[in-house]
Amino acid sequence: MYNKNINLAMKKLLKNEACFASTLGLWLSGQLTDDQKKELEEMFTLDYGGLVKACNRYMQRTTKAIKKGYMTLDGFTVEDAESFGSLLSSEKLDKNLQTELSHLLYGADERAKYLQ
């Protein structure tokens, strides 16, 4: 369960995560140039063991942060929600993580429970 007493000023804005998710989504959908793909893959391979592993860890970290009440929907727009689309629908990533994060972002019950 999340802590209702967490100060709202301390919560991360989920909308700030949308830009990162969008960039990962571009890579997953193949919409980047070959040079951009290579640079992104090299960056994540060195520190994270590859971009797919980094994406899976990102979804896991975001899911945990939402469930612990560390994130808020303040300013989160339809465009922000769409930024997560490629990340949540990629065939390359962990389906269980995608499903769980998707339910948290788009499911009315989960949003009401975890995101304020």
Q: Using one digit for the tens of pLDDT, what is the confidence trace for 69-94?
A: 888 888 888 888 888 888 888 888 99
With cut-offs at 50, 70 and 90, classify the pLDDT of residue 7.
low
Q: Where are the domains of the chain?
A: 68-116
Contact indicator for 1, 66 with CB cutoff of 8 Å: no
Q: pLDDT tens across 9-30, in order?
A: 567 888 888 888 887 887 777 7
Which residues face 48 on adjacent strands?
Answer: none
Distance CA 77, CA 37 (A): 27
User: Is 110:2 a contact under the CB 8 Å cutoff?
Assistant: no
Q: What's the predicted TM-score (pTM) here?
A: 0.76
What is the CB-side half-sphere exposure of residue 77 using CA atoms within 13 A?
5
Q: Report the b/e string of 57-76 with b at 16+ CB within 10 A.
A: ebbeebbebbbebbbbbeeb
Listed in sequence order, the residues at least 6 apart from 16 whose beta carbon sits closer than 8 Å to its beta carbon are none
